[in-house]
Copies of this chain bind each other. A is one copy, B any other.
Amino acid sequence: MIVGTLDGRRWFFVLSAGILVLAAACKGGGTVDAASLGEVARERQLSESDMLAAAKTYVPTGKLDDYLLFASGGHSGQVLVVGVPSMRLLKVIGVFAPEPWQGYGTGSEETAALLASGSMAGTPITWGDVHHPALSETGADYDGQFLFVNDKANPRIAVIDLRTMETVQIVTDPLMGSNHGGAFVTPNTEYVIEGAQYAAPLDGRYASLDEYEEKYRGAVTLFKFDRERGRIDVDRSFTLELPPYWQDLADAGKGPSAGWAFLNTFNTEMATGGIESGNPPFEAGVSANDMDYLTLVHWEKAAQVAEQPGKTVTIQGRRVIPIETAVAEGLLYFVPEPKSPHGIDVTPDGSRLVVSGKLDPHVTVYSWAKIQDAIANRAFSDTDRYGIPILDFDATVESRLELGLGPLHTQFAPNGVAFTSLFLESAVAKWNYETMELIEKLPVHYNVGHLAAAEGDTREPDGKYVVSLNKWSIDRFQPVGPLHPQNFQLIDISGPQMQLLYDSPIGIGEPHYAQIIKADKLQVWTTYPETGFDPVGMKKGEDVATLGRERIERRGDEVHVYMTALRSHFIPEHVVVNEGDMVVLHITNIEKARDATHGFAVSKHNINLSLEPGESSTVRFRAPKQGVYPFYCTEFCSALHLEMAGYLIVRP
């Protein structure tokens, strides 16, 4: 052993690489007490790679994650915010379903109105099936300002403002029977793309399945986003009528392919099921053909056409460009793609489209240049039965690569590296779309759907992490009943080989897709910018309570209560009303300190608010039968939090 001194530190040089570098490592400041570490490793039976993975994912107290992952909650109707690499769940954002902890849809007029704006066909909807979150983009790069999500079951799009990470808008799409190809954004978030899935009549009226080809339709809606207002502008949005095939995922072109949107399309068989009557079930009928279509939509041109008189029809109050017009104007083309496609993913430079068909072991890479030539040269092999030109497969495909069983979705890293999920094989395939070589496969547990790569949908992916969104977990976690959590597996892709770092159970919701953004791109508020703020309207409220002006005003049978909340009391503490009075509470949290949130609940009234510092909220209810109803702060705010209470007293 050689003993030396350097930088005032004692070194041990030992003829063993590991230990030598250990010494070197000690110098670097990242010191490792091999003794106790080894003990723990032995005790917990951790392998070397386990210890490495632990070190790569552990975020010590007081340090922060490098990335935020925004995942859809699936049929929880919510959005999940997860820190990367720690994979800790930082927040569940209430979107389509009420969430009492956030005071979302549990008493405040502001959030009640927001949720009510998502009613469909006259039915209030208190859940959603959130599939695909899309971060707003500027120049095909995540800008950290907004998040858009879809509801597959009840065709809707919600807008989340990332300053507050709260939902600010829900817009419906009455034309569709369901929506799967949303939300995806154009490179500067000019539009939010929403594709239909199960076809239905656009007019929302009855039509027998015998009339499927004539009366059922698919669609893609381009919702115009007004970045200034931070809201979708429905009146400036439009829909393209599509044949009654099933649209699936979508992506927007960028770089050379900017101005175009791409949607997978399956059930070109126009199967209508009916297993109970001896027909092939959907699963068979929809998978009969060897080829389906990739749908090309020239959204930039379509936006101009939609403005021209006579080019659109109005259905259920929405502007629709009919198929014939779309074809005549050169807005709509098909390209054949292998059967039952799922993923359509544009490469970071926008030069290629990667398609994977879950019943075909290959990924198919289309050249955008070739597609443009084919369109220019009108190299159509045919038109479909609705007259939509079908580009020639061989004229547009650049190459194909066999990856394995059930390829679903592709994400990207720098230098042509791509990662594709293999659902049936339960693996992630690493390959290169420039050299078209399969580099490596990593097994995952189990049944991976989508993948999310760090900055993976931008023009410049980071190449640091991929998260595998596994649909099944089976035996990977302590049992929690027949309903199993999903499993996010974090994978380190920064080295020559993929390394599985972490299994992250998702025990709330069933995420379908996620996006990962560098945390430093976000500009998040930790309190509201002014006292009396309405987070739904994103401005100061109209008729809010202020410190020193707390009061109770009777206006006819309406009793208006202007109440403030400050550690550790409400003003007023007594609210006395009569049976049947309409009580209107205007409550403001006048705190300024970060995290000084107050809740507000009224016993037996189904009312709970979460008032963050500066927030003002309104509650309106009819006073029930006579009685004594305590109200109190539901957020543990201070040592005297239990004393932060009052009485609503209803006189006979």
Contacts and interface: CB of A to CB of B under 8 A. Distances in A.
Interface stretch (A306-314, A409-417, A459-467, A643-651): A643-651
A525 B482 contact: yes
Interface stretch (A50-58, A320-328, A386-394, A431-439): A50-58
A481 interface: yes
Contacts of A597: 482-484
B88 A505 contact: yes
Given A32-B41, A627-B205, A275 B177 contact: no
Contact of A482 (B124, B527, B599): B527
Interface stretch (A183-191, A231-239, A344-352, A629-637): A629-637
Interface centre among A21, A44, A613 (most CB of B within 10 A): A44
Contact of A519 (B18, B164, B478, B626): B478
A120 B630 CA distance: 14
Interface stretch (A125-133, A254-262, A377-385): A125-133
Interface in A1-35: 1, 12, 14-22, 24-26, 28-35
Contacts of A35: 17-18, 20-22, 25
A146 interface: no
B630 A178 contact: yes
Contact of A358 (B127, B207, B639): B639
Interface stretch (A98-106, A222-230, A289-297, A395-403): A98-106
Nearest to A593: B474
Identify whether the interface residues of A are mostly helix, strand, loop, or mixed.
Answer: loop
A489 interface: yes
Nearest to A34: B22
Contacts of A512: 636
Interface in A111-154: 120-129, 152-154
Contacts of A359: 639
Nearest to A85: B44
Nearest to A41: B30
A522 to B, nearest CB: 7
Contacts of A92: 507-508
A37 interface: yes
A165 B479 CA distance: 9
Contact of A41 (B15, B31, B97, B205): B31
Interface string A183-205: 00000000000000110110011
A612 interface: yes
Interface stretch (A329-337, A362-370, A536-544, A571-579): A571-579
A423 interface: yes
Contact of A282 (B206, B479, B601, B643): B643
B40 A30 contact: yes
Contacts of A124: 606
Contacts of A209: 574, 647, 649
A634 B198 CA distance: 13
A32 B34 contact: yes
A277 interface: yes
Contacts of A476: 61-62
A298 interface: no
A180 interface: yes
Interface in A485-535: 485, 489, 500, 502-505, 507-510, 512, 519, 522, 524-528, 535
B604 A91 contact: no
Contact of A473 (B15, B73, B595, B634): B595
A560 interface: no
Interface residues of A, number: 206
A166 interface: yes
A376 interface: no
A282 B632 CA distance: 11
A606 B126 contact: yes
Contacts of A595: 472-474, 484
A282 B526 contact: no
Interface centre among A83, A602, A604 (most CB of B within 10 A): A604
Contact of A1 (B15, B31, B37, B485): B15
A474 B479 CA distance: 33
A569 B279 CA distance: 12
A102 B48 CA distance: 38
Report the 10 A-B pairs with minimum CB-CB distance, sorted nearest first: A25-B38, A30-B42, A30-B41, A22-B34, A54-B58, A100-B127, A482-B612, A21-B35, A276-B572, A91-B507
28 contacts: A22-B38, A26-B38, A28-B42, A34-B34, A44-B55, A54-B54, A61-B503, A64-B478, A75-B599, A81-B507, A89-B508, A91-B505, A154-B603, A154-B604, A165-B483, A198-B645, A206-B649, A246-B642, A281-B573, A281-B643, A282-B569, A282-B643, A283-B644, A480-B524, A481-B526, A482-B526, A484-B526, A510-B634
